[in-house]
Amino acid sequence: MSLPGDVPGEVKATLGKLEKSSQVFSETFSKGDLSLTERLTEHVRRAVESGTITTHLPSGAKFDVASATAYTPKNGDGPSILRLPLAGTNLARASVLGVTFDSRTGAVVATTEMVISGAENNSAHVTVWNNGVLSLNKIASSDGQVRDTGVVPATTLSAASDGFWERLNDCLAGLGIPWAVVTAIAVACSAACVISAGTGCLLCILAAAGVTQANIAGCVAEASQG
């Protein structure tokens, strides 16, 4: 991915994380057929109802079953993964529940739930639970800053040419995914893909829900031109 030299370093780093994770996942998994998706979705529905899988859906949120997608390992050796998007009034479309299954037994191996919601000043609140246990709780701002919840944000923006962040967010708004959400996705998966191409990696790659890195990089390049 080639970007202009004057693009802020944190922007390049964020896109780099997404690109690397996407490559790892695409080399390992392929999309499963509809019958597999329906079967795994029903399995998850029953597990959530019985309490076997713990979720933390915000008030008014629900699973977007119609948009669920299953993935299987290309070499036939490894877990199957279900991506089950979450839908709600204040949720970014990147919000998702990822479930990893043992391909031989069909048992649930792991779950990762990522909830990204709108916060103050066009920022995004990203929360991640791995196997029902809270593992990440951060605020990502529209200028690429990341902080813990409850921490007052810095008054100075990260270094960039005048108007860069405004132009970037205006362009991304047309794609339906603000930079704060892009940053939140990268933060949520930055550690997961170092370990393996498992559920955490799936979230990182697929959370943008159709907005490719090429689209995002195009907005970055456009914003850098002033």
Beta-strand (E) ranges in the chain?
A: 29-31, 62-63, 69-73, 80-87, 96-101, 108-118, 124-130, 133-140, 146-148
Full-prediction pTM beyond 0.75? yes
pLDDT in tens, 124-173: 888 888 888 888 888 888 777 788 875 544 433 444 455 777 888 888 77
Query: Which residues fall within 8 angstroms of residue 201, CB to CB, at 6 or more apart?
Result: 21, 24, 25, 189, 192, 193
Distance of alpha carbon 96 from alpha carbon 114, whole angstroms? 5
Q: Give the whole-number percent of the chain exceeding pLDDT 70.
A: 75
Handedness of CA 51, 202, 36, 34 (dihedral sign): positive
Q: What is the CA radius of gyration of the chain?
A: 18
pLDDT in tens, 38-78: 999 999 999 999 999 999 998 889 999 999 999 888 887 77
Q: Is 22 helix (H, G, I), strand (E, B) or coil?
A: helix
Classify residue 37 as exposed, middle or buried by CB count within 10 Å of its CB (0-12, 13-18, 19+): buried
- Mean pLDDT in residue range 22-35: 81
Q: Which residue has the tokens 């998706």?
A: 37
